[in-house]
Amino acid sequence: MTIRPRTASHGEFPIGDEPTRGHTPPVNFLVTGGAGFIGSHVCERLLLEGHEVCAFDDLNDFYPPAIKQRNIRDIQSLAKPFTFIQGDLANPEDVEEAFSSFQFDQIIHLAARAGVRPSLEEPALYQRVNVEGTVNLLESARNRKVKKVTIASSSSVYGVNSKVPFGEEDPIFKAISPYAASKLACEALGHTYHHVYGMDIAMLRFFTVYGPRQRPDLAIHKFARRIHEGQSIPMFGDGSTARDYTYVTDTLQGILACTTREFGFDVFNLGESQTVKLNYLIELIGKAMGKEPRIDLQPMQPGDVPITYADITKAREVLNYHPQVKIEEGIPRFIEWFKTVA
């Protein structure tokens, strides 16, 4: 495990809404997956709100590690109390060493092997990292009396849900991918650690998050790159599949709201509550890039669901969660960032 010290250079908050400052007392946070897409935004926002942050990430090669290293440099450039730890969540010794090195008040657990399709090829890896890794984290938290943990789940737990929009009380025992199954297991673990050990745990079901720093394997980023390079876009199905795309600053709002409240145990959808069909998404990306996309029609893929659609009534009422960025605004924002790194 590698611990990198804090730095003292300067920088700016990335593309997105400016943070609000000073509304909560300073807290020492552990953010797992803190070098990744959502995690790096979480780290920056916490630092700008006056908290101390330790990011834990293994920098694996699921996508080029240089991308995460760039995210770390962006965070370090804020010249705030930030520490980066390179370690493997599935290795209990790495997790224990992190907890031995710092005293954490709260944990935001975002680290996971992500992606439905890759999980079909390596189901055991997804079990080891996502499920065993979460157990290792919760055990270290319990042993160090860290009671408050916010954990990333996924809209994939709903599977092929005939009821739309998806509500937190819907049945979720029909997972159709190893990734979804691993997230279901994490939700069960969260409830168990609350029930048995009294920990305060919020599970957040993310709905297709996008924005600056989005992983290159995800649809919006992948489509933009292929258009940029003059390649065709593979469209699985007839373009009618729909997703509840959520801009990263909106997801961020929901995550941070959980850090200021106590739940015992609870589950929240964090989506935009607006479905976007695949063919319309591709049209928006092409328009923002000023190019006409070329489509390569492909059959539907195993593990894909026809629609995701979040009922965010509960998050609105409990978290004061109010997503602001519609897809027509979010895609141009993303393309603006994409052009700086393409």
The residues annotated as belonging to the active site are 179
Q: Quickly count helices (H) and strands (E) in the chain.
A: 12, 14
Say how far apart CA 76 and CA 72 lie, in whole Å: 6
* Side-chain-facing half-sphere of 147: CA atoms under 13 Å: 11
Overall residue count recorded for the chain in this entry = 342
Longest dimension (CA), the chain: 56
Omega of the bond leading into 65 within 30 degrees of 0 (cis): no
| Nearest to 227, CA basis, from 335, 332, 329, 341 | 335
| Nearest to 273, CA basis, from 327, 317, 320, 221 | 327
Say how far apart CA 226 and CA 223 lie, in whole Å: 5
* Side-chain-facing half-sphere of 320: CA atoms under 13 Å: 5
Which residues fall within 8 angstroms of residue 202, CB to CB, at 6 or more apart?
Answer: 149, 150, 151, 258, 263, 265, 266, 267, 268
Q: Find out whether 203 and 266 touch, Cβ atoms under 8 Å.
A: yes
Q: At what angle do helices 278-289 and 219-228 cross, to 10 degrees?
A: 40
Secondary structure (3-state) at 116: helix
Q: Find out whether 117 and 303 touch, Cβ atoms under 8 Å.
A: yes
Radius of gyration of the chain (CA): 19
